[in-house]
C-alpha cells in the first residue's frame, strides 16, 4: 500500500484526545497498570464528556455549539432569580419575626400596629440602594450568632436604629402641617357595672415650616433644632436640653434636681430630637392591662354586663405567672369565680364569661413573654406622660434656664384642657382658649404656680365652683387634671419649690366697680373700674402693651395706638371694643359713665 507524506501529517483540526490508539497498546497499558487504572478511567471519561459538551468537535451541528451557552444562561438566571427570592424572603417580616431573630413579642406587637404593612427592614435597615442595605445587613450578622448559640440577653432592646430622616421621613414629611384634631379616649369604671366614660381633647399636632408662618404645635420639636443629653441608654432621664433659636441664639435648660455643669458638656455628645425620640414604640406598643381591657369592652369583645369584669380582668392580667400555661389556667378560673359568687348571672351569662376569658387570654398571649422577660413595663413608650415619663422627660416643670424659666408645662400646650364626659352627659363642652392671656399666665412656670395663685380674679375668665376638685362642675374642678396623679411631673421637687416662692404673684387687691359719679374722673371712677374688671389682663405685665391700672398707661394706649380720644368718646377705641363682645365687658350703665368721662376730657382727678 502506498502512503504519501501528506497522509502521514497529523490532522490539526482533530482533538488529540480523539486520536485512535491501537488495541494492542491499550491492552499493554491495562495489563501494566492493573486495577488502579480502572479507577482513573471514569474521571477521565467524565472530563472528556464535559469538555466535548462545552467544546463540541469540529463540524458539530449548530444546536450543539449553542447548547453550552444556553445552559450557562439558564444557570446564571436561576442563580439571579434564586438570589432575588432569597433577598426578598430575608427582607420579609415573617423571616425577621420568626426565623432570624428570637423576637415573638416584637412580632406580635408589630402585627397589631399601624405599621403592620411596613417591612421591618424599612425601619431597621432603611430604604436605600441594595448594596447599602447589604452592607448594613452584613453588620448585623452577629445577631445570627446570638440566635444560633442562644446568647441573647433579655429583655432585648433595639440598638443602632437608623436616623429618622432615613426611615420615618421617607413616608412622613416634617414639613407637612397637621390641623388640630379631636381625640376621644374611652375608659370604663371598675365598679359592678363597667360604665363607660370618655375623655375629649384637641391635639395640637402642628408642624410645617417657619418660613411658611407655621412650625408650631407638637411638631415644633422637629422643625427646630432641639438637642439633649441623657444619662441612660433608653433616654428616660434627660438632665440637659439645648435649643437653637431661629436667630442662632442658644437656650439651655437644666434639671434643677440634677448636678449638671453646662460648661463641661461636649456639643458632639448631644442627641438631636427627631421622630423616634417620642414615637419610639409606634410599631411595637404593648398596651397596659387597663388599656387593653378598656379597648375590649369598647369593642364589645368583653361584655360590660359581667359584674366587676373590668376589675377582675385587669387584676388577673397584672398578676405574676411562671409561664403562659399557668396564666391561662388562672384566667380560666374566672368562670369558677362567677359561678360561686354570681350564680344568677352565671346561669344566663356563661357564654359571655367564656368569651371574656378567651379575650383576656389572648391579651396576655400578645403582651407577656416570660421566657424573654417582656411585658407592658419593659419598653418605655415616650408618647404621652402617664405610664412612662414621655413628654415629662423635658416638660416636667423643673428644667430651668438661667432666668429660672421652665420649659413650659401646660395642660393646653400640646392639647386642649381634657374634658371628661359620662353617658349621662348629653352635651360635652370642650374649651378652646385663643384670647389674650393675663400676665400671670404667661409666666413659664405658671402651671406649677396656679394652685397657689388662685384668687377671686380667676372668676373673670373661668368658672370656679369646687376649684381644685374633681366634680367637673366648673373649669377649675376638672376630674382629668385633678383626679390624675402625674408621677413624672416635677411639681413637688424641693429645689423647684424654693425657686417658685420668688415668683408667686402678689395677691390681687380686693376692688369693686365704683358707683356712677356726677363728674367721673379716672381716680374716682375709671381707675377702680378698670382695675376690678380689666386688671387681670391689662396691668403692669400688659396684654397687647395696654396697662389700664394707671392713668398714664390708660392714656398711652396699647401697641396698636391710643384707646382714648379725650373729648370724643365716639372715636375712642375703648368704647368701640366695649360696645361689642369682649373677654370682659362692663355693664351698659358703666359704659355710659365711661363715655361721660371721656367726653368731659378724661380727667385724672
pLDDT band for position 48 (cuts 50, 70, 90): confident
Domain assignment of residue 317, yes or no? yes
Other beta carbons less than 10 A from residue 152's beta carbon: 14
Domain assignment of residue 18, yes or no? no
Does 31 score more than 50 pLDDT? no
Domain assignment of residue 509, yes or no? no
Cell of 474: 366648673
Domain assignment of residue 477, yes or no? no
Q: How far is 295 from 288, CA to CA, in rounded Å? A: 11
Report the percent of the chain where pLDDT is more than 70: 89
pLDDT at residue 33, rounded to an integer = 47
Model's pTM, two decimal places?
0.78
Does 261 score more than 80 pLDDT? yes
pLDDT at residue 1, rounded to an integer = 43
Q: How far is 458 from 174, CA to CA, in rounded Å? A: 38
C-alpha dist (Å) from residue 481 to 183, 290, 319, 472: 16, 19, 29, 10
Residue range of the domain that includes 99 = 91-152
Does 12 score more than 60 pLDDT? no
pLDDT at residue 502, rounded to an integer = 83
Place of cell 444556553: 70
pLDDT band for position 334 (cuts 50, 70, 90): very high
Among 211-220, 243-252, 592-601, name the one with the lowest average pLDDT.
Answer: 211-220
Dihedral sign, Cα of residue 589, residue 595, residue 598, residue 599 = negative
Domain assignment of residue 339, yes or no? yes
Kindly state the average pLDDT of the residues 187-209: 90
Cell of 373: 422577660
Among 25-34, 40-49, 307-316, 494-503, name the one with the lowest average pLDDT.
Answer: 25-34
Domain assignment of residue 182, yes or no? no
Residue ending a domain, among 129, 152, 175, is 152
Sheet architecture: strand order including 196-203:
181-188, 196-203, 419-422
pLDDT at residue 5, rounded to an integer = 43
Cell of 149: 448559640
- Total domains in the chain come to 3
Select the highest-mean-pLDDT range: 41-50, 69-78, 306-315.
306-315
Cell of 124: 431597621
Domain assignment of residue 328, yes or no? yes
Residue ending a domain, among 128, 152, 176, is 152
Residue ending a domain, among 347, 365, 383, is 365
Q: How far is 605 from 596, CA to CA, in rounded Å? A: 14
Rg, C-alpha atoms of the chain: 40
3-state class (DSSP) for residue 283: coil
No. of helices (H) and no. of strands (E), the chain: 23, 10
pLDDT at residue 25, rounded to an integer = 43
Select the highest-mean-pLDDT range: 15-19, 219-223, 362-366.
362-366
State the chain's mean pLDDT as an integer. Answer: 85
pLDDT band for position 430 (cuts 50, 70, 90): confident
Domain assignment of residue 198, yes or no? no
C-alpha dist (Å) from residue 280 to 11, 100, 159, 224: 78, 22, 12, 19
Amino acid at each position: 500500500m502506498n502512503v504519501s507524506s501528506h497522509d502521514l501529517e497529523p490532522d490539526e483540526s482533530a482533538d488529540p484526545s480523539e486520536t485512535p490508539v491501537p488495541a494492542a497498546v491499550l491492552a499493554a497499558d491495562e495489563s501494566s497498570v492493573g486495577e488502579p487504572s480502572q479507577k482513573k478511567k471514569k474521571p477521565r471519561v467524565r472530563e472528556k464528556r464535559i469538555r466535548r459538551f462545552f467544546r463540541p468537535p469540529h463540524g458539530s451541528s449548530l444546536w450543539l455549539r449553542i447548547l453550552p451557552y444556553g445552559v450557562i444562561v439558564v444557570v446564571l438566571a436561576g442563580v439571579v432569580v434564586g438570589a432575588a427570592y432569597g433577598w426578598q424572603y430575608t427582607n420579609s417580616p415573617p423571616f425577621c419575626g420568626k426565623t432570624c431573630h428570637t423576637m415573638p413579642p416584637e412580632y406580635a406587637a408589630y402585627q397589631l400596629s399601624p405599621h403592620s404593612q411596613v417591612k421591618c427592614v424599612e425601619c431597621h435597615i432603611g430604604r436605600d440602594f441594595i448594596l447599602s442595605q447589604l452592607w448594613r445587613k452584613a453588620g448585623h450578622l452577629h445577631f445570627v450568632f446570638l440566635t444560633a448559640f442562644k446568647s441573647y440577653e433579655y429583655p432585648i432592646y433595639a440598638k443602632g436604629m437608623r436616623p429618622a430622616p432615613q426611615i420615618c421621613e421617607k413616608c412622613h414629611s416634617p414639613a407637612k402641617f397637621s390641623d388640630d384634631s379631636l381625640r376621644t379616649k374611652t375608659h370604663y369604671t371598675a365598679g359592678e357595672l363597667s360604665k363607660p366614660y370618655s375623655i375629649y381633647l384637641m391635639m395640637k399636632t402642628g408642624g410645617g415650616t417657619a418660613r411658611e408662618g407655621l412650625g408650631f404645635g407638637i411638631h415644633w420639636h422637629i422643625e427646630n433644632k432641639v438637642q439633649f443629653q441623657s444619662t441612660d441608654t433608653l433616654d428616660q432621664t434627660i438632665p440637659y436640653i439645648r435649643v437653637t433659636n431661629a436667630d442662632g441664639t442658644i437656650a439651655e435648660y437644666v434639671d434643677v434636681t440634677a448636678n449638671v455643669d453646662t460648661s463641661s458638656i461636649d456639643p458632639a455628645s448631644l442627641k438631636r430630637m427627631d421622630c423616634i425620640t417620642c414615637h419610639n414604640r409606634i410599631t411595637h406598643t404593648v398596651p397596659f392591662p387597663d388599656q387593653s381591657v378598656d379597648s375590649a369592652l369598647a369593642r364589645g369583645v368583653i361584655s360590660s354586663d359581667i359584674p366587676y369584669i373590668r376589675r377582675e380582668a385587669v387584676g388577673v392580667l397584672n398578676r405574676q405567672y411562671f409561664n403562659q400555661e399557668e396564666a391561662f389556667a388562672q384566667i380560666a378560673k374566672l368562670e369558677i369565680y362567677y359561678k360561686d359568687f354570681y350564680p344568677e348571672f352565671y346561669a344566663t351569662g356563661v357564654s359571655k364569661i367564656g368569651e371574656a376569658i378567651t379575650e383576656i387570654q389572648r391579651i396576655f398571649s400578645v403582651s407577656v413573654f416570660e421566657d424573654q422577660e417582656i411585658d407592658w413595663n419593659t419598653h418605655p413608650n415616650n408618647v404621652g406622660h402617664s405610664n412612662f415619663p414621655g413628654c415629662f422627660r423635658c416638660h416636667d416643670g423643673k428644667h430651668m434656664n438661667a432666668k429660672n424659666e421652665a420649659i413650659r408645662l401646660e395642660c393646653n400646650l400640646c392639647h386642649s384642657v381634657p374634658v371628661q364626659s359620662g353617658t349621662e352627659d348629653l352635651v360635652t363642652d370642650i374649651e378652646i382658649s385663643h384670647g389674650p392671656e393675663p400676665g400671670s399666665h404667661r409666666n413659664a412656670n405658671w402651671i406649677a404656680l396656679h394652685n397657689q395663685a388662685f384668687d377671686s380674679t380667676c372668676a373673670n375668665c373661668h368658672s370656679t365652683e369646687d376649684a381644685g376638685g374633681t366634680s367637673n362642675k366648673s373649669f377649675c374642678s376638672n376630674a382629668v387634671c385633678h383626679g390624675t396623679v402625674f408621677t413624672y411631673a416635677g411639681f413637688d421637687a424641693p429645689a423647684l419649690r424654693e425657686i417658685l416662692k420668688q415668683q408667686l404673684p402678689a395677691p390681687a387687691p380686693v376692688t369693686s366697680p365704683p358707683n356712677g359719679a356726677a363728674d367721673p374722673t379716672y381716680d374716682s371712677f375709671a381707675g377702680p373700674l378698670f382695675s376690678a374688671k380689666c386688671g387681670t389682663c391689662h396691668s403692669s405685665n400688659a396684654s397687647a402693651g395696654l396697662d389700664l391700672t394707671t392713668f398714664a398707661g390708660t392714656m398711652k394706649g396699647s401697641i396698636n395706638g391710643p384707646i382714648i380720644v379725650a373729648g370724643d368718646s365716639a372715636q375712642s377705641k375703648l368704647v368701640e371694643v366695649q360696645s361689642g363682645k369682649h373677654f370682659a365687658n362692663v355693664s351698659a350703665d358703666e359704659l355710659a359713665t365711661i363715655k361721660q368721662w371721656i367726653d368731659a376730657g378724661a380727667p385724672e382727678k
